[in-house]
Amino acid sequence: MVKFTNILVPTDFSDNSVHAFEFAHYIAMPSKAILHVLHIVEPAITDGAIKNLFNKEKFEHSKLLEAEEELRRFINKISPQGIKIVEALEHGKPYEQILNYSTKNHIDLIVIASHGWTGLSHLITGNVANKVMRYSEVPIICIKTTSSILQKYNSINESSFAENWFG
């Protein structure tokens, strides 16, 4: 069995991110790996007219405080037991910050949620999971769920996880 030391779970606080976090916790348990739960606060995009309506620094600070609270609530959703959790917030483009964090913190595995977008909007804008999978230098498990992955643990435990591996 592969032993992990540091597992990264990027989150946007969506239901799919909760499933990815649950799955990462499950993988981390046997080797007592450290789970890094990372949320990226994207910079506010403003134009000239909007800049005059509010103080950008004050707005960014309030977004950061709100993200800190939401990150704590997110982690408490599954009440991880027996695993060290590192809460991390970064500011910038999500896929770039995930890759930077991965390198900086010696991450062995990234478990990321996919929203499973298809069609024209995906082709035009791309998505974070896709970009992370494309540029990551560490293995990635991409979770695409419509129901809890935990319901499948009995069958997954008997398999090789191969259907979820990318990278």
* Tens of pLDDT, residue by residue, the chain (167 residues): 678 999 999 999 988 899 999 999 999 999 999 999 999 998 876 555 555 556 667 777 788 889 999 999 999 887 778 899 999 999 999 999 999 999 999 999 999 998 755 555 455 445 889 999 999 999 999 988 654 444 554 444 444 444 444 44
The helix (H) or strand (E) run that includes residue 50 is helix 48-51
Q: Is residue 1 part of a domain?
A: no
Collapsed DSSP state (helix, strand, coil) of residue 113:
strand
Q: Could you give the number of structural domains in the chain? A: 1
Domain span at residue 28?
6-166
Q: Do residues 24 and 108 lie in contact, with contact meaning Cβ atoms separated by under 8 Å? A: no
Burial of 26 (0-12, 13-18, 19+ CB in 10 A): middle
Cβ count near 38 (within 10 Å): 23
Q: Is residue 75 part of a domain?
A: yes
Burial of 127 (0-12, 13-18, 19+ CB in 10 A): middle
Q: Is residue 29 part of a domain?
A: yes
Q: Is residue 27 part of a domain?
A: yes
Q: What is the CATH number of the domain that holds 66?
A: 3.40.50.620
The CB-side HSE value for 105 (13 A sphere, CA atoms) comes to: 23
